[in-house]
Structure 1
């Protein structure tokens, strides 16, 4: 069996949950001899792909800040993917994002679509930047797909809520994380202060401004504790003004992410806090569990499904609830120890290999 993956999620994203999902899938398949795959990609600055040799693409990091260069890379990648589709040397096609360009070239071959979440459907009116215009494209692809993978039971229910889709062609496949088996090449010193950890993008439904507002009283009561934001881009001017107004400028820090740096941050954090309003799955939860980091999570969307009893939960719209959950964890060492123990047990239920095996079974249904 041969599977063709396209360029979409790898073209413009150095990091991100979707490209990470497909990268881990390909990395797992690269270790097997019962499946072949091709990633049709010519230009990318994706950091995950640097770890493996299954993609022979060109990098353009010095020019990555130029919008026209990224547009050109995307156009050339799409042309290359169309050429690979026209060659038809594959059994199953698995696009890595939501674009309909391939429909006229697939020539009756089956394709599998992964549905990550319904964030644009649920919050598109509130946050137009989320790509509300994707909904019509998703509708078409969902109708045409031979199988749909939902990354959680919550994601499946969202799919059934917003789209007219036959439940029989939907398969729920949970994700995994390579952090469960990650060993840093060198030991990185811990930061010289205790801290709460926030990971990933901060705007819109990620709910960082509300979280920061809620946690300010906690930080003022515990003056030795800092807040570290890993990834998601450097702080904006508006964020810096927010920190300054709160009198916390010197206790809120940004750190760029590599796997090694992120692993180290999880390992030494007092707690990982995830106040998101909507997640299709929530890989950072598994990353925290893998690193022995206590998790304090929003009680929305897929997060209780992933975290189960291994996390403390709060209502992300309730400032007092957020502050109370965070304060409980940072002031109770026994609770942190219990969360670490439960997280270590919970992570055993998830793995990249399990995700790959279940995805392989979906492909076999179509061949």
Structure 2
């Protein structure tokens, strides 16, 4: 069978969980004889595809900083995808994000939609920037899709909560992390990591990621343990509001930003941290949890959404709205070496439930069910 993937998640992003997910599917499928795939993409700066390109495409480097250029690139890629969809040289179509552009051109070919999370539906009223109008698009796509992949059971329940979808066509297929391939390796210290103990926060910090509440919870710990620092990996440089927050707590010199330049760099940041803290109010899956497990980093997590489903007994949990509970959970982990060791070992064991090969095999089974 042949699967067609489109351009969407690879057009404007160099990194990201969605493009990594589809890249890993194609990476595994490229070593299998029972499935072939095509990727309809002409222009991209995606870093994963540079490692192992699955078709010929052109990069446009620094031009990606120009909004108008990105709009033109998106249109070029979309037209290329439409040409391949209309040609029909595939058995199953799997769009890589939420857009309706292909519906009138697909004919009777089946398509699979991956639903990542319901953040727009949960927080759209509070944070309109999450995606104005995205609900209606998701609604149409979910209705028209022949099969829906939910990345966790929590996400499946959210689909059923916010949309009218036949439960029988929703398949739960957990994600994985390629960082597990680095487990057990010994690497030199990353130049981005500080020479002192630190808590690690990874990824975006705005909206439902709950960073401000987290910082207010951790500020007393930083004051109580003068060697302890907070390192924020990825998510962009600190905003003026964040800098003001740090200054008001007299902790500007205890909070550091580190860009994520590669999987290896991020792996080292996890590996050397006293703990990884994930205070998010909503995650469809939570790949950073698996990244922490892969690097042998104790995880202290919000007890919301999919995170307990993914981490199981391999993490310490807290109520993300309770500042005292957040601080207590973190302090418990950073001061108890026996607990840290146990969490690290449990994390390795929990990681064994997730792999790119398993995700790909379960996804292929969904494709095959449509033929």
Bin for the TM-score computed over the shorter chain = over 0.9
Q: Is the 8 A contact 1:121 1:132 kept in 2?
A: no
Find the aligned partners of 1:269 and 1:284 in 2 and give their Cα distance. 14
Instruction: String of CA shifts for 1:194-229, please: whole Å, max 9, x gaps.
Output: 100011111001111111111100111011011111
Deviation, structure 1 residue 185: 9.4
Mapping of 1:108-119 within 5 angstroms?
108-119=108-119
- Residue aligning to 1:134: 134
Q: Give the 3-state SS of the residue equivalent to 1:105 in structure 2.
A: coil
> Which residue in the other structure is 2:246 paired with?
243
Report matched runs for 1:1-367 at 5 Å.
Answer: 1-182=1-182, 187-189=188-190, 191-257=194-260, 258-367=262-371
Contact 1:112 1:149 (C-alpha < 8 Å) held by counterparts? yes
Alignment check: 8 A CA contact 1:125 1:132 kept: no
CA distance in structure 2 between the aligned counterparts of 1:47 and 1:316, rounded to whole angstroms: 33
Deviations 1:256-276 (A, max 9, x none): 111111000011100000000
> How many Å separate the matches in 2 of 1:31 and 1:237?
47
Q: TM-score, normalised by structure 2?
A: 0.97
SS in 1 for 2:45: coil
Q: Per-residue deviation at 1:188?
A: 3.2
Secondary structure in 2 matching 1:171: strand
Paired with 2:292 and 2:175, the residues of 1 have a C-alpha distance of 14
Deviations 1:30-62 (A, max 9, x none): 111111101111111112222112132211121
In 1: Cα distance, 2:159 partner to 2:295 partner? 32
CA distance in 2, matches of 1:251, 1:316: 22
CA distance in 2, matches of 1:354, 1:124: 33
* 1:186/1:219 CA distance change after superposition, 3 Å: closer
Aligned residue pairs, count: 367
Structure 2 unmatched runs, 5+? none
With over 3 angstroms needed to count, the CA separation of the structure-2 counterparts of 1:185 and 1:95, relative to structure 1, is farther
User: Aligned to 1:76, what secondary structure does the other structure show?
Assistant: helix
CA RMSD of aligned residues (A): 1.2
Cα gap change, 1:362 to 1:340, in 2 (>3 Å) = same
Which has the larger displacement, 44-53 or 259-268? 44-53
